[in-house]
Amino acid sequence: MAPIPLLSLTNRTLDNTLGAIILGMVGSSMLFGITTLQTYWYYHCYPNDSTLHKCSVALLWILDALHLTLVIHAVYTYSVAGFGNALGLEDITWSIKLQASINIVIVLLVHSLYATRVWLLGGYHQGVLGYIVASVVAGGFVIGVVFSCFCWKVQTYAELERIAWLVEAAFGTSTAIDFVIAAAMCYYLRKSKGGISRLNSRISTIIQYTLSSGILTSACSLAAMFSYILLPNTFAFLALEFLATKLYVVSFISMLNARERSRLGLSTLEGSGSEPSWRRHLMAHTTSSFWSPRPVSMVSFDAARSPPESVTKGNPPTPTYYAQ
């Protein structure tokens, strides 16, 4: 039995096909520029960050650059190499299929990195949300792999009707995972707040970034899903999918940059003489991450960061203070 054609709210035109993916390419290029700037800022300000974060940021930037290259190739193929060939817009070029696979890898990698932080926070608070997030991400991984395999078996956009349920499931799962991860991280971060205003301010900043990035990526995924359902014969969903991929990368790296930077990482931005020696000594031993659970000794450590009375009066600090 032949598949029932998907109904569209509008007819196919140059505006909603070539025009859509060209706009998507322009938006993707702009977001890639922001990602590159954020990547440079990350390596410049966090030289002592964990190897996992450093390798993850490098891998995400490489995959993001490859994704943009494939997007440009697809746009060139449809608009220049296939100029005047309306029937050529029916075929799914290999670069579209490959960028869809790269998109799945990027989304799953970002989700896995977020899930890792939720797992650590959940372990500290003895919660079960870490298991829920891990299960949801694992389900998204299965759907993403299945979608990638079926995507290589179709040759035209009309044939996507056979796997329309899978396309919708991929967009819907991505949106659901964003909501679950954002909710879990905000919950645990809020529980990490204590009586120290400076630490609470940083945690509030991370919560704001988490909510903003989760809402932004979810909205883009939902828009792509609804575009495919309502406008299946156009390239609007492709343009939004281009943007969604870039948003995942830039949101994660921006989240890393939203943390408090260590004093060693800021040595090139702030003069070494701008802080008292006792403060530089303590800051050199602090961690730059508020992703990790709040340690039990955090309260006493933050209390130790306040200068002793002898320092404020101009007297040298005692040896016992440095021993902390």
Distance in angstroms (rounded) separating the CA atoms of residues 197 and 264: 23
pLDDT at position 310: 47
pLDDT in tens, 186-221: 777 777 666 666 666 766 666 766 777 778 888 898
Tell me which DSSP letter residue 270 carries.
Answer: S
Cβ neighbours of 309 (radius 10 Å): 8
Per-residue pLDDT, 194 = 64
Helices (H), 231-268: 236-257
Tokens 């926070």 found at: 121
- Residue whose structure tokens are 């039995």: 1
3-state secondary structure of 156: strand
Q: From residue 156, how far is each of 17, 159, 223, 233, 259 by CA, in Å?
A: 14, 5, 22, 11, 45
Q: What is the pLDDT of residue 198?
A: 66
How many other C-beta atoms can be found within 10 angstroms of the C-beta atom of residue 247?
Answer: 23
pLDDT in tens, 37-83: 999 999 999 988 889 889 999 999 999 999 999 999 999 999 888 77
The pLDDT score that the predictor gives to residue 119 is 77
Distance in angstroms (rounded) separating the CA atoms of residues 225 and 154: 19
The residue that leads in pLDDT, 236 or 284, is 236
Of the pLDDT bands very low, low, confident and very high (cuts 50, 70, 90), residue 282 is: very low
For residue 208, give the 3-state DSSP assignment: helix
In whole angstroms, give the CA distance from residue 268 to residue 51.
Answer: 22
pTM, rounded to two decimals: 0.75
Question: What is the C-alpha radius of gyration for the chain, rounded to an integer number of angstroms?
Answer: 24
CA dihedral 138, 143, 147, 148 (to 10 degrees): 10
In the chain, what are the helix, strand and coil shares in percent, each to the nearest 5?
70, 0, 25
Beta bridge partners of 91: 156
| Cα–Cα distance for residue pair 238/228, rounded to 1 Å | 9
Contact 288, 261 (CB under 8 A): yes
Q: Does residue 126 carry a pLDDT above 70?
A: no
Best CA proximity match to 109, nearest among 318, 304, 253: 253
pLDDT of residue 261: 54
Distances (CA, A) of 155 to 88, 232, 268: 11, 16, 53
Six-digit token pair at 321? 């203070």
**pLDDT in the model for residue 102:** 94
Q: Measure Cα distances from 213 to 138, 153, 181, 246 in Å.
A: 21, 33, 11, 12
pLDDT of 292 higher than 80: no
Cβ 302 vs Cβ 196: under 8 Å? yes
In the chain, the domains with their CATH numbers are 18-257 (1.20.1070), 272-323 (no CATH)
Digit-coded pLDDT (tens) for 298-319: 444 444 445 554 444 555 544 4
Q: For residue 319, what pLDDT is reported?
A: 42
pLDDT tens for residues 239-263?
999 999 999 999 889 888 877 654 3
Q: What is the pLDDT of residue 38?
A: 94
Count of helices and strands (H, E) across the chain = 11, 0
